[in-house]
Amino acid sequence: PEHVKKAFIAIEDERFYKHHGIDFIGILRALYYDIKAGRIVQGGSTITQQLAKLLFLKPERSISRKIKEAALSLQIEKKYTKEEILGLYLNQAFFGTNAYGIEAAAHTYFGKSTEELSIAEAALLAALPRAPSYYSPFKHPEKALKRRNLVLKKMLQLGYISDIEYEEALREPLPERPHRRRYKAPYFIELLRENLEDRYNQGLYTDGLRIYSTLDMHYQAVAEEAVKKGIEQLEKRVKPGVQAALIAIELETGKVVAMVGGTDFWQTQFNRATQALRQPGSAFKPIVYLTAIQNDIIPEDTIEDREVGYPMPDKKDEVWTPRNYEKIYNGEVTLLQALSHSLNAATVCLADTIGIKRIIKTAKYIGLNTPVHPYLSSAIGASETTLYDLALAYITIATGYRTKPLLINEVVNREEISLEQHYPETIKVLDPAVVDTIRFMLRDVILNGTGRKAKQLNRTVYGKTGTTNDYTDAWFMGFDDQLVVGVWVGRDDHTP
């Protein structure tokens, strides 16, 4: 809108449409006021010079930089129209509160788009680039008000607004708190931002970078809708406050194509897909059976499914007795039956036979980065992990290859130069025959075991359910020939 442009021109560069990049009259006027005040009270830089500084120069104070700034400003004026220069400046300027560019600033300070800004709101935004923190309405409202009103006064003096508009604008209050701008796939975007900020610092926001992520918006929309519907159905049966997380990763590439870190990012930014350490319960069991297969035990071999007490390493006189969910014990069962029906007693018996240290070793080299504690209870998922980590371990189970996760395909700067490119990185860690065997077992979980509900998908999927005591956590880890998908449901306070 015209009043937005004029607010910036009034306070930053009132001769903007008259000069060719450098305003000699403005420089002399600024010099006069600076000498009169005995300190720097006015800047002599035009909007074009400020754009040159934002786009091309480091924030240093030196004569050589000023010369470069002036030369660049003349070049910019030759190449672009005044409207293009003003647009570029408004889209690059920093407004404080992590807002870069006029549109982000409008959303951050007023929760609206640039098109909807009032004269007073435009004046406040025009007041900020000179010193965003100093003039912040959230930190220093008195200084912000004084500076905004100065912008309004300049607009009046230059004939940009009428006396009535000026008086009305003066009466408008300042914003009291920032508005969080809503965007799609917020949990993924926040993870991406943290990842990139480590490398680019503030340049992430100011250097005009284009980031090509691995996210697939179709998968993301489906994932968000699935979580939304699932929680709505669940909360008809239980008290509200249940959270959920979902992650989907390409098997072949490790590209994260969908991520949901909770039911509402705008209420809580805690990412339950990557940050929440939870007990995976039976979703960990495939790692136990994978270890057995690697040690020449086959699915048809038998183990004991009985109530057995195992000595506790740190409590010599006590025993720990793993119990099956239904408190029914089946005696001698095959490994295939034990995994399909998620028999805790049989799984711990197997872990005791092959040794927990071997299971820990397997977990590490298939890519589970969170520690597995050296106790038999870890065999049935007592050691906490994240959904993200477990999904990566399931990629290895599904393919035999440990795969590095990818969030970014490429980062390109404003000159179209590629700053970084990422390609799949995989290491073969499992024999194909071992992979075929564990896939066969996980397929049986779907066909005949605890994952029977997944048969509704009418496609070949493999997977494992997982629950912890009192249904504190519920998991499903599954894959087909393209994606691994992990889902977790529970409460943040670990209550059922």
CA–CA dist 137, 132 (Å, integer): 9
Could you tell me which of 198, 192, 175 has the C-alpha nearest to residue 95?
A: 175
**Residues paired with 94 in a beta bridge:** 100
Six-digit token string for 341: 């029906």
- HSE-up (13 A, CA, CB side) for residue 332: 3
Write out the two tokens for 428: 């073969």
| Cα distance between residue 365 and residue 477, in whole Å | 19
Read off φ and ψ for residue 397, nearest 5 degrees.
-60, -40
Catalytic residue among 73, 136, 282, 340, which? 282
- Which of the following is catalytic: 12, 69, 121, 304? 12
Q: Is 282 a catalytic residue?
A: yes
Q: List helix spans (H) across 139-216.
A: 141-157, 163-171, 186-200, 203-206
Containing 419, the helix (H) or strand (E) segment is strand 418-421
Nearest residue to 385 via CA among 404, 406, 363 = 363
CA 156 – CA 164 distance, rounded (Å): 10
| C-alpha closest to that of 181 among 112, 123, 96, 228 | 112
For residues 297-317, b (16+ Cβ closer than 10 Å) or e, as one string?
bebeeebbbeeeebeeeeeee
Residue with tokens 């800004």: 117
Which pair of structure tokens corresponds to residue 63?
A: 């004569």
Helices 141-157 and 2-12: crossing angle in degrees, nearest 10, is: 100
Tell me what percent of the chain is helix, strand and coil, each rounded to the nearest 5: 45, 15, 40
257 neighbors 215 (Cβ within 8 angstroms): yes
Catalytic residue annotation: 12, 282
